[in-house]
Amino acid sequence: MWQFQDFAAPTPGSACDQTVGQCFTAHWNADGHDWVCHTAGGTKGISFGDPDGSLHVNLLPVGDDTLPVATEQSVRGDVWNVTLPQADSQYSLRLALRVVEATETRLVIEPTLSIQTLLLDTHPTLDLTALGDCGVIFDQGDTLGDGSPPISTVQLHGETGSIAVLLAPTDAPFTTDLRREGHLQQRLFGEFLEKGVIRKARPWIVL
């Protein structure tokens, strides 16, 4: 199950790396191996994966935007919940991170991202990116409309592993594929968000 931990030695390049202020860290132990997730918000965003940074993905704000700042965390069963209220930001964000499967060498997670705004005109946008030295990028399946392919994979250099992102039919058409050589980048949300409406994205991430 998820356990909270101090981030005195955060994952290199993670959301808690060199972060000043609030940052939540939780880890999941599988067969003696720790998988970690850092949630700070702001400009640092959210990151999860291997503690040495070799297998890691980030959820980051786009351009000059910033994410709301994390203020509360809790664990319910196998789900780690983090609240990032709107405050002075453009929107609020809730993260519910569920572990689907975890072993010493493989982690499958389902992060549910829920956004909502009190403003009349906002276009919240998040980028899901692979962190590290990426090699071959490919996809399987047809892209739905202008969206992203259902499966995108990054093979890391040095045989250190691979990262896959799986999008459900409800998410793929509304996700923008911005991948380029050596870099996996998928843009979530981005459309007009009406005041009071809750919009969700639920990608599966395989590390």
168 is a domain residue: no
What is the rounded distance in angstroms from the CA atom of residue 202 to the CA atom of residue 166?
A: 9
What pLDDT band is residue 144 in, cutting at 50, 70 and 90?
very low
- Range(s) of the domain holding residue 41: 2-133+174-201
32 is a domain residue: yes
143 is a domain residue: no
pLDDT of res. 103: 92
Burial of 47 (0-12, 13-18, 19+ CB in 10 A): buried
Amino acid in position 42? G
pLDDT at 21 > cutoff 80: no
153 is a domain residue: no
CB of 16 closer than 8 Å to CB of 40: yes
Q: Total structural domains in the chain?
A: 1
139 is a domain residue: no
Q: What pLDDT, in 10s, does the model give residues 72-92?
A: 999 998 899 999 999 888 889
Q: What pLDDT, in 10s, does the model give residues 169-179?
A: 888 888 888 88
pLDDT of res. 95: 96
What is the rounded distance in angstroms from the CA atom of residue 32 to the CA atom of residue 11?
A: 17
pLDDT at 146 > cutoff 60: no
3-state SS string for 76-130: ECCEEEEEECCCCCCCEEEEEEEEEEECCCCEEEEEEEEEECCCCCCCCEEEEEE
pLDDT of res. 46: 92
Q: Residue 99, CB half-sphere, CA atoms under 13 Å: how many?
A: 24
55 is a domain residue: yes
123 is a domain residue: yes
- Token pair for residue 129? 């990116």
Q: What pLDDT, in 10s, does the model give residues 95-107?
A: 999 999 999 989 9
pLDDT at 10 > cutoff 80: no
149 is a domain residue: no
